[in-house]
Structure 1
């Protein structure tokens, strides 16, 4: 069996070879590439003859999958799989496995970090010092005593809720199905309308799919408190970002911390959110820590080994 890793995983080449060694010792061939590409022709060339393709968050479009007649399994070093042409995978019976859980800690920590940045005006404070300014106009707000709404109480949302709770916040949660882990963590499940009306901080932790795409729209944003802060470390396409920018500009919500956008960075200079006041941006780095990169590589190679052994793990429903 031939296995092709089409893009870097954020770990050293030596570590990649170390993780691939058991597969090669089992008789499989392995090829890896240390650069990213979105060119379908180049992706097809890299994956030629592979029964297993390994990727991270680089798109794997339909035309590439269709050009790989031997492909049977796609290992995704990411939690979301919306960047893979899943309809073709369904047609072909291709197994798709992800690395759910690898970045739970990283994303939850940045969620809280962005909330602190917005509430305490960290970026503005940094600019003031560098501009020989003072603390004038930089009175902040605390997390303690606030109500935090977690939209999506899966593993990441629950972990973020625990962190906010440790700061002394009351934590509300919304999910289609209540998560016992979240309830055990002290998160109070309520309906979405209640969460939006009562929360001082609203943090989004939903997957991107047909049901959630653009679901956090102008109507949802309008239900938030005027002094509320919105945090998105989930997926940009879940949010009506033009409506969010308008709400921020008009002062209908107080601020936002955004790690994800409608497209991957670099973001066009005309993107409406970039002009909105009281915002903190990071270029899709919530998952990107040394520890998370190490974890996901182990999980991804483990997924390939398990599939090759006939005992697949982390299989995604298509």
Structure 2
């Protein structure tokens, strides 16, 4: 079979060479593209003769998939898979993801964004460089605060554990309660109760038809004026236009946002770019040196196991 990695995985080439050895030793062809492209025609060229594709978070639309008649399997070096066209399902293509590779990286960035908002770290940096003082920069502590975790899968539960270690009380919302989260002392409540009673709301939902716009203006308006929202999950789970309005109306104290309605670069007229009291990062929660190596290993393992007839990490589009 012809196996193609059609975008970089942000690891040294020697790591790719090492990981691809088993595929090659099994008698399959491996081709690696070390540049990322969003050009549809170029993507079509890259995938046209592939039996197996390896991608990261670059969108793989239906019009690209339909030009790959031999395509049997897609290994995604990412947790989310909503960027893969639904045609893959219609063509019975096996799709596998790399869930779990960035649990720790995402959880740590949630804490970092929360600390930045609550302790005014960015503001302090700016003020001290301009000859300023502590005036107006006294912040708050996580200890004693109530943290609402929306989505209590592996990343949500790891994030909850970090907040617990810092002395927070935990509320949780999910369609299925997580026993590990309960052992941390998390109390499960309905989403509106969580929004009302949390000082910090951290989102960890996947994006699908049931979660798109889940954090609506109505739910944002339930939050305390002193509370903050953190989104290191998927941009589409929040009504981001409404969030920008809520921030500018000072109905909540701030937001730390790593994900948007599109991948960066973000258009200059995007509402959150001009919202008050926001810390924005360019979709980096998943990206640490450690997590990049782990995801490459999982992505190649998915392919190897598929070739052996024992596929793992299969997802349903």
Deviations, residues 285-309 of structure 1 (Å, cap 9, x unaligned): 0000000000000000000000010
Alignment of 1:206 with 2:205, yes or no, is yes
Alignment of 1:37 with 2:37, yes or no, is yes
**Segment of structure 1 superposing worse, 123-132 or 290-299:** 123-132
Once residues 266 and 302 of structure 1 are traced to their aligned partners in structure 2, the CA distance between those partners, rounded to angstroms, is 31
Once residues 24 and 128 of structure 2 are traced to their aligned partners in structure 1, the CA distance between those partners, rounded to angstroms, is 55
Once residues 125 and 270 of structure 2 are traced to their aligned partners in structure 1, the CA distance between those partners, rounded to angstroms, is 24
Alignment of 1:193 with 2:186, yes or no, is no
**Gap regions ≥5 residues in structure 1:** none
User: Which residue in the other structure is 1:284 paired with?
Assistant: 283
**Gap regions ≥5 residues in structure 2:** none
**RMSD value over aligned CA atoms?**
0.8
Runs of 4+ in 1 over 4 A off after TM superposition: none
Deviations, residues 68-115 of structure 1 (Å, cap 9, x unaligned): 000000000000000000x21121110000000000000000001100
User: Which residue in the other structure is 2:162 paired with?
Assistant: 163
Once residues 130 and 33 of structure 1 are traced to their aligned partners in structure 2, the CA distance between those partners, rounded to angstroms, is 43
Once residues 315 and 8 of structure 2 are traced to their aligned partners in structure 1, the CA distance between those partners, rounded to angstroms, is 22
User: Which residue in the other structure is 1:3 paired with?
Assistant: 3
Q: What secondary structure sits across from 1:211 in the alignment?
A: coil
Once residues 233 and 30 of structure 1 are traced to their aligned partners in structure 2, the CA distance between those partners, rounded to angstroms, is 33
The offset of 1:226, in angstroms, is 1.1
Deviations, residues 261-311 of structure 1 (Å, cap 9, x unaligned): 111111112111111111111110000000000000000000000001000
Deviations, residues 171-214 of structure 1 (Å, cap 9, x unaligned): 11000111112112221111111111110000110000011111
The offset of 1:17, in angstroms, is 0.9
Q: What secondary structure sits across from 1:119 in the alignment?
A: helix
